[in-house]
Amino acid sequence: MKKVLVLEGSSRPNGNTEALTNVLMNGIERTTIFLREKNILPIVDKRHDEDGFSIVNDDHDALMKAVFSHDILVFSTPIYWYSMSGIMKNFVDRWSQTARDERFQMKEEMKRKEAYVVICGGDQPRIKGLPLIQQFQHTFHFVGISFQDYIIGHAGKPGEIWNDTYALSAAQALNDVIKEKIHTQP
Amino acid sequence: MKKVLVLEGSSRPNGNTEALTNVLMNGIERTTIFLREKNILPIVDKRHDEDGFSIVNDDHDALMKAVFSHDILVFSTPIYWYSMSGIMKNFVDRWSQTARDERFQMKEEMKRKEAYVVICGGDQPRIKGLPLIQQFQHTFHFVGISFQDYIIGHAGKPGEIWNDTYALSAAQALNDVIKEKIHTQP
Amino acid sequence: MKKVLVLEGSSRPNGNTEALTNVLMNGIERTTIFLREKNILPIVDKRHDEDGFSIVNDDHDALMKAVFSHDILVFSTPIYWYSMSGIMKNFVDRWSQTARDERFQMKEEMKRKEAYVVICGGDQPRIKGLPLIQQFQHTFHFVGISFQDYIIGHAGKPGEIWNDTYALSAAQALNDVIKEKIHTQP
Amino acid sequence: MKKVLVLEGSSRPNGNTEALTNVLMNGIERTTIFLREKNILPIVDKRHDEDGFSIVNDDHDALMKAVFSHDILVFSTPIYWYSMSGIMKNFVDRWSQTARDERFQMKEEMKRKEAYVVICGGDQPRIKGLPLIQQFQHTFHFVGISFQDYIIGHAGKPGEIWNDTYALSAAQALNDVIKEKIHTQP
């Protein structure tokens, strides 16, 4: 059975993105990590230093181990300024360090993963959120993750997501797809 | 009651895009125009000529009259090379002429319209079809049409659309939204 | 020495896009084809017909032969409604037919090509022209063409391109790059 | 005379993006802020809390005052995972708080600003960096900043930017434009 990890990028508990993600994940066993509860320092780019990256004493390595030990990743983030939250961005930025960390085989691990993305915003998200979707695609492609699908919710104020029948219906339809996928041998 | 016009851009009858559009439009009274059955010549750009555009003897003006006499426009096109079909593109290109045609008040007319878009493709359409959605947005914004929403179907071979539960569910959800909209006073 | 083919998509002679392309091509031996002077019918999609595509009696096959016999392709089109001209779009749409035409080895041919793109528009082209650039990328990627670079000119009225020092400088810089490339063995 | 503020988002001193930005800014009096030297905490979204945002004790307010007291803003960031650095993202995320801070008139201030963007990356930046440009556009549009132009450099390893004649030429051309703009009355 495939293992599912939800990475929540919001700075606010119980927001619209989280609610929409819960519709997508309804009845599916999963681990959820709230990135806001973790200590993830911004990357210090040392790709071109002779000695390479310095080990950083925060939660990033533990998070990457969680990523590696699951099969399906769900990136869930509100749209902050037409992009993922800075909280999630700092997490993703650090992948550049993990990719060069000999303790991990990031590329080997990542290319077995499948990903879904859930984003929500209040300002024409199904138009203005598209560059963010394209960035997820470029990122997933680079590390070898297979981008399965995404949901874009239209919601600003708390609870508004329940009016977005398009996103809710799409999430329910994908819920079935994921349930079947979980029980399918690769 | 609002009047609905479907503009079909496919070169092939009964294709996936048309099927998905019919799910979106199920039970909704509408006029459908198959652009492939019309004679629409490519634009000859004379915006900067002293005498302006020459009158063109084809079906374009009649099509624009149909557009003007409806309230909700549905642009339905298969994704050909990550964009709308050339058939539909020639139709849209000619708007530049209509916009300068004194017999019409295109900007006045267009700003009362609402639009939906349905596109289908076989090569990662929910990623690679996004530039096309952005172009529709820019086009609608320019002429004042209000872009309501869109559906992207994943289908190549005939009938494949029936496997795309995401798109079908989204289309059904939007069907309800449109039905309500039709009966609402502006 | 590499052979250069310029495909001009404008409906208007001596426009801004053509002028910018001539800056890019200054001093470079090339063949130029004005697509508006050719007869290119819209595609009739028969990919899924038992008998496949019907032979079409127009200029498309000759154009494809010209494409195949050159090494560097320059796609030059004004931005019409945030996309390539319908004239150029009908040409590209027909690639789907050529790809299935046993008289040609389109994929084999295309993967040896390098491409440049020149586009010009009057409405924030360096922002609103980006979806078009992305579509060229997807198209080139699909057929195996290597997308080298592009220039986006800001110009609406005749001659305005001469005020866009950004685009002119970029075109001159790329001119040097292309000149060197032409004389380099692959 | 217009005042210029450069906001550097890189985590690494003397990188390619900084070098390209220095070409753009050559001979232009400006203030430069290296965001990596500042303490900017991630936003905690309290837009919907009764009491609103809590005052945060870090460098963000001082940075916003610097923004407000300049006329031309240059956002300079390496492309990290096809987006701005997390360092810069946390800064931008906090604008949502500043916008609701009664001590500032952010919207009033911002709509007098003009912006340039400089980004650099090693993986097809002039294609895969386009979503980031679109996000800057959406962000600038939202707060009323006028997006003037941008430069995309192709460089990964230290010093590679000096091979990108396209970007260098464009930067030099924009340098002239900015110099003229600085001395022009609004």
CA A185 to chain centre: 23
β-bridge partners, C146: C114
Does domain A4-182 bear CATH number 3.40.50.360?
Answer: yes
Q: Give the mean pLDDT of chain C.
A: 96
| Numbered residues of chain D with Cβ closer than 8 Å to any chain A Cβ | 10-12, 15, 36, 42-46, 48, 78, 80-87, 89-90, 92-93, 95-96, 123, 128, 130-132, 134-135, 138-139, 142, 157-158
Residue-wise pLDDT for C92-146, tens only, equals 999 999 999 999 999 999 999 999 999 999 999 999 999 999 999 999 999 999 9
Contact D82 A157 (CB under 8 A): no
- The candidate with the shortest Cα–Cα distance to B131, out of C79, C20, D166, D88, is C79
Which residues of chain B lie closer than 8 angstroms to C128, CB-CB? 138
* pLDDT score at D183: 86
Q: What's the CA gap between D83 and D125, in Å, rounded?
A: 10
- d(CA A63, CA C169) in angstroms, rounded, equals 46
| Mean pLDDT, chain A, whole residue set | 96
Asked if D12 lies within 8 A of A96 by C-beta distance, the reply is: no
Q: Which of D126, D130, D168 sits opposite C149 (nearest CB)?
A: D126
Asked if D17 and D152 touch (Cβ cutoff 8 Å), the reply is: no
The pair of structure tokens assigned to A39 is 């200590």
In which order are the strands placed within the sheet that holds B72-78? B31-34, B4-8, B72-78, B114-121, B146-154
Q: Is the pLDDT of residue C16 over 80?
A: yes
Nearest by CB to residue A127, choosing from B126, B137, B169, is B137
Distance from CA of B3 to the nearest CA of C (A): 25
**Interface-testing mutation among A165, A172, A176, A181, with chain B (most B C-beta atoms within 10 A):** A165
**More confident: B184 or D121:** D121
Closest residue on chain D to A157 (Cα) = D48
Which residues on chain C place their C-beta less than 8 Å from a C-beta of chain D?
A: 126-127, 130, 133-134, 137, 147, 149-150, 165-166, 168-170, 172-174, 176-177
Chain A residue numbers touching B137 (CB-CB < 8 A): 127
Q: Within chain B, what is the greatest distance between any pair of CA atoms?
A: 54
pLDDT at A124: 97
Decide if C44 and B131 are in contact by the 8 Å CB cutoff: no
- Cα nearest neighbour of C130 on chain D: D130
Percent of chain D's residues with pLDDT above 90: 94
Give the C-alpha separation, C129 to A77, whole Å: 28
In 3D space, the residue among B84, B83, B107, B82 whose CA is nearest the CA of residue B7 turns out to be B84
CA nearest to B24, candidates B137, B102, B117, B155: B117
Helix (H, G, I), strand (E, B) or coil at D183: coil
CA R_g for chain A: 16
Q: Tell me which DSSP letter residue A63 carries.
A: H
d(CA C72, CA B70) in angstroms, rounded, equals 46
Whether A7 shows a pLDDT value over 90: the answer reads: yes
Residue A115 β-bridge partners:
A73, A147
CA distance A74 to A24: 10
pLDDT (mean) for B63-74: 98
Confidence of residue D175 (pLDDT cuts 50, 70, 90): very high
Query: What global pTM score does this model have?
Result: 0.97
What mean pLDDT do residues D44-48 have?
Answer: 91
- pLDDT digit string, tens, across residues C136-178: 999 999 999 999 999 999 999 999 999 999 999 999 999 999 9
How far is C18 from C85, CA to CA, in rounded Å?
Answer: 13
Which amino acid, one-letter code, is at C144?
Answer: G
Torsion of CA D83, D88, D94, D98, to 10 degrees: -120
- Report d(CA A65, CA A51) in Å as an integer: 24
Q: Answer for the pair B154, B162: CB distance below 8 angstroms, yes or no.
A: no
> Is pLDDT of A23 > 70?
yes
Min Cα separation B45/chain C (Å):
6
Q: Do A149 and B166 touch (CB under 8 A)?
A: yes
Option in C10, C46, C93 nearest B86 (CB): C93
Of C137, C166, C176, the CB nearest to D173: C166
Q: Which residues contact D138 (CB under 8 A, 6 or more apart)?
A: A81, A82, A123, A128, A131
DSSP H or E segment with residue A171: helix A165-182
Going by C-alpha positions, the residue among A58, A83, A74 that lies closest to residue A149 is A74
Q: How far is D134 from B34, CA to CA, in rounded Å?
A: 34
CA–CA separation, A20 vs D56, rounded Å?
Answer: 30
Tokens 């195949």 belong to C68
Contact C169 D165 (CB under 8 A): no
Cα(B161)–Cα(B167) distance, rounded to whole angstroms? 8
- pLDDT number for residue D186: 62
**Chain B residues within 8 A of A152 when measuring between CB atoms:** none
The whole-number pLDDT of residue A185 equals 67
Give the length of chain A: 186
- Smallest Cα distance from B185 to chain C, Å: 31
Q: Is the pLDDT of residue C186 over 90?
A: no
Q: Which residue of A lies nearest to B133 if distances are taken between CA atoms?
A: A127
Residue A29 has pLDDT above 70, yes or no: yes
Burial of D7 (0-12, 13-18, 19+ CB in 10 A): buried
| Other beta carbons less than 10 A from residue D27's beta carbon | 7
> What are phi and psi for residue A151, nearest 5 degrees?
-130, 135
pLDDT band at residue B162 using 50, 70 and 90 as cut-offs = very high
State how far residue D176 is from chain C, nearest Cα, in angstroms. 9
Percentage of chain A lying above the pLDDT 90 cut: 94
Give the best residue of A147, A166, A174, A181 to mutate against chain B (max B CB count within 10 A): A166
Work out the pLDDT band at B186, boundaries 50, 70, 90: low
A169: nearest CB among B126, B134, B172: B172
Instruction: Classify residue D80 by its DSSP letter.
Output: B
Give the three-state DSSP class for B75. strand
Separation between Cα atoms, residue B33 and residue B67, nearest integer Å: 10
Could you count the other beta carbons within 10 Å of the beta carbon of residue B28? Answer: 16
| Nearest neighbour of A123 by CB, restricted to D90, D142, D157 | D142
Q: Residues of B at the C interface (Cβ-Cβ below 8 Å)?
A: 10-12, 15, 36, 42-46, 48, 78, 80-87, 89-90, 92-93, 95-96, 123, 128, 130-132, 134-135, 138-139, 142, 157-158
Determine contact, residues B158/C49, Cβ cutoff 8 Å. no
Say whether D10 and A45 touch across the interface (CB within 8 A).
yes
Q: How many CB atoms lie within 10 A of CB B131?
A: 25
Chains that touch A (3 or more CB pairs under 8 A): B, D
Q: Which residues of B touch C157 (CB under 8 A)?
A: 48
Closest to C76 in 3D by CA, of C138, C126, C14, C128: C14
Q: What is the pLDDT of residues A67-122, one digit of tens each?
A: 999 999 999 999 999 999 999 999 999 999 999 999 999 999 999 999 999 999 99
Beta bridge partners of B149: B116
Rg (CA), chain D: 16
Nearest Cα residue in chain B from C88: B86
Of C127, C134, C173, Cβ closest to residue D169 = C173
Q: Which chains touch C (3 or more CB pairs under 8 A)?
A: B, D
**A150/B166 Cβ within 8 A:** no
Interface test with C, best of D117, D169, D181 (most C CBs within 10 A): D169
In this complex, the residue of D86, D96, D158 whose CB is nearest that of residue A42 is D86
pLDDT in tens, B88-136: 999 999 999 999 999 999 999 999 999 999 999 999 999 999 999 999 9
- What is the Cα–Cα distance from A77 to C149, expressed in whole angstroms? 33
Please choose, from the candidates A158, D142, C46, A116, the residue with its C-alpha nearest in 3D space to the C-alpha of residue B15.
C46
CB pairs under 8 A between A and B: 47
Closest CA to D132 of A98, A135, B58, A88: A135
* C-alpha count within 13 angstroms, C-beta hemisphere, residue C53: 19
Is the distance from CB of B82 to CB of C85 less than 8 angstroms? no
Residues recorded for chain C:
186
Place of tokens 């110009």: C155
Quote the CA–CA distance of D76 and D32 in Å, as a whole number: 10
Q: How confident is the model at residue A184 (pLDDT cuts 50, 70, 90)?
A: confident
Dist CA B112 CA B133 (whole Å): 20
Name the token pair of C65. 């032969």
Q: Is the pLDDT of residue B64 over 80?
A: yes
CB-based contact A165 B149, cutoff 8 Å: no
Determine which helix (DSSP H) or strand (DSSP E) holds B62, and give its type and residue range. helix B60-68
Question: What average pLDDT does this structure show over B12-33?
Answer: 97
